[in-house]
Structure 1
Amino acid sequence: MNVLLAGVVGSTAYGLAHQGSDIDVLGMFAAPTADLHGLHRPQESVVRYSPDSTFHEAGKAVRLILSSNPTASEILWLEEYQVSTPLGEELVALRGSLLSERGVRSAYLGYATQQLRKLLTREPEQAARAAKHARHLVRLLRQAEELHTTGRLTVRLADPDEVRRLGEWIAERPERAEPLLSRAESVLDGPGMLPQAPDEAAADAWLRRVRRAFYS
């Protein structure tokens, strides 16, 4: 693969990893431009194991980022990268204009609501995973508020121990998460620093540079 950008994400990046936690890698790659014009298009995502890794083709990656997808967008805000190329760095430099107020509200609150739904409908034998879902919920809400109010995202949590404690507390009684959701909705309804819509023209220009670079 022509890897443009790759780094460790997930619990390790958040500061929530514990002994035995998986290492998760997220990356993006560029398919040879000629392959995009054939009858059979190249694979848009490549998933590997040991370590767990997901690589999205540049076109898919940028579409996910423009939708403010929390998982895909995370790669633009990492402190360190395993692979970083000039084209990858160009995309990182655009990160503030690729997200949007509407997209963050929809995507982040949507994902957080999914985590709450999992908590409310879990079976008794799934209790061990409940705290993990609750931690994700807390993290997503905090990230949404930070993005909305500052236009930036800090991937590593400032207080991972507090997030763990909140996760355990919410897992015991999932309805405790509802005030956190209400607060986040209120913050995201207020004035923010993100653009109303993502800069699709800048994303398109970047993707065209990628296609030129890998045309042969």
Structure 2
Amino acid sequence: MYSPAAFRIDDLAELHAQIERTPLAILVTQAEQGLQASHLPLLLDPDAGENGTLLGHFARANPQWRDLAAGAEALVIFPGASAYVSPGYYPSKARDHKAVPTWNYQTVHVWGHAAVFDEPARLRELVGRLSAHHESGQAQPWSLDEAPADYLDAMLRAIVGFELPIARIAGKRKLSQNQPADNRAGVRAALATRATPNEQEVARLMDSLR
């Protein structure tokens, strides 16, 4: 990932925080059948390995898990908030018109090799942890115990789990740091008044850098 020094995130705790804020990641592999990508909810175990370990599962019918089983390296993308930045947001445009459109955004990329597994007990534990994580905000959280045992067993047979130790991790936070202070303030103010949550989140992230 191209990341100039002004935009780079080096702190592991910040990188982990972005991973945990991303409910759905994109896992990419390159193997015999070419590039493959899947959108997957993942769990981060921050204390497993030097950079943490990711856990998730594929549908067994999804051939991409076989790439991991064969030893292919995975790239996992955790996209954060993003927003279009119009030249009109810059006060400097009114002075010299030297401005072009761009995007502000935050993302984390992870690389590593994964081990796959399909033992029922491990899959049940993984699905239980994923469910508990994503159900935590519900008024009445669902749990595995609510599903009939035979139905759950059939669902577990239909998936393949994986564990991916993070070999390399990189983060980027592009929030107009390369602009003068008045332009950064102009972008922040403009995005804060926009209607979409993503634009408002980028404004909040920019505010946190002040």
Q: TM-score range by the shorter chain?
A: under 0.3
TM-score using structure 1 length: 0.26
**Greater strand percent: which structure?**
2
TM-score using structure 2 length: 0.27
Greater Rg by CA: 2
